[in-house]
Amino acid sequence: MSSIVDWSDRSTCVLFGDGAGACVVQASEGKRGIIGTHHGSDGRLAELLYRPAGGGLSPLTTESLQRGDHLVKMSGKEVFKNAVRSMASASERALADAGLKGEDVDLLIPHQANIRIIESTARYSGIPMDKVFVNVDRYGNMSSATIPIAMDEAIEQRILKPGMNVLTAAFGAGFAWGAIAIHW
């Protein structure tokens, strides 16, 4: 993220960190595995969190680089409201798909955007903060790497254990969101 953050924009640069992570998914026997999902997007709101240039629609040029068009642009308050609403709604729908409710969740591993989004999503999902894994205070928002890295840390710290009902929830650029209920 550091290469696309506008370091002169203090409202966004302090939020992001760099990282990489992945989850390997395979077929499982019995009741373990993904038990509910919900995903969505709303491209109409994409200009609240986007990069004006740097993709196929608007390739980088010397002029666009000089203007900083390759850097992340974000309308923080609007992104916050939509992130919380979308993550909480996706969580509720993924849990319903799994036949579960917020009180059935043993561990929520949310996208680590910022602590306010994490706390609000947990509250609206009916999950107490003592069941929420948080590491945003150490790394910042590492974009799509936040959940895999948090999951790995939760396993290493023996917080995430077999038999648990786990919920992941995320929101990101292009106004895409999703949640996955997992019986670990």
We report the CATH number of the domain holding residue 156 as: 3.40.47.10
Between 114 and 60, whose confidence is greater? 114
Lowest-confidence segment of 49-58, 112-121, 156-165 by average pLDDT: 49-58
Grade residue 13 by pLDDT with cuts at 50, 70 and 90: low
DSSP code of residue 173: T
Domain span at 130:
19-49+75-183
Q: Which residue has the tokens 């939760």?
A: 154
Give a yes or no: residue 117 inside a domain: yes
Of all residues in the chain, the percent with pLDDT exceeding 90 is: 57
**Position 94 in a domain:** yes
Judge whether residue 53 has pLDDT over 70.
Answer: yes
pLDDT the model gives residue 51: 80
Residues 88, 108: contact at Cβ < 8 Å? no
Instruction: Write phi, then psi, for 50 (nearest 5 degrees).
Output: -165, 175
Question: Is 12 part of any domain?
Answer: no
Q: Is residue 112 part of a domain?
A: yes
Domain membership flag for residue 164: yes
Domain presence at residue 63: no
- Number of structural domains found in the chain: 1
Decide: 110 and 118 in contact? Cβ < 8 Å: yes
Q: Give alpha helix (H) positions in the chain.
A: 10-13, 62-67, 76-98, 115-125, 136-139, 146-156
Mean pLDDT of 7-13: 67
Compute how many other C-beta atoms are within 10 angstroms of the C-beta atom of residue 151: 20
Give bridge partners of residue 179 from the DSSP assignment: 38, 169
Whether 156 maps to a domain, the answer reads: yes
What is the pLDDT, as a whole number, of residue 127?
97
3 state SS of 161:
coil
- pTM, entire model: 0.86
Q: Among residues 42, 9, 32, 20, which one has the least CA distance to residue 176?
A: 42
In a domain, 55, yes or no: no
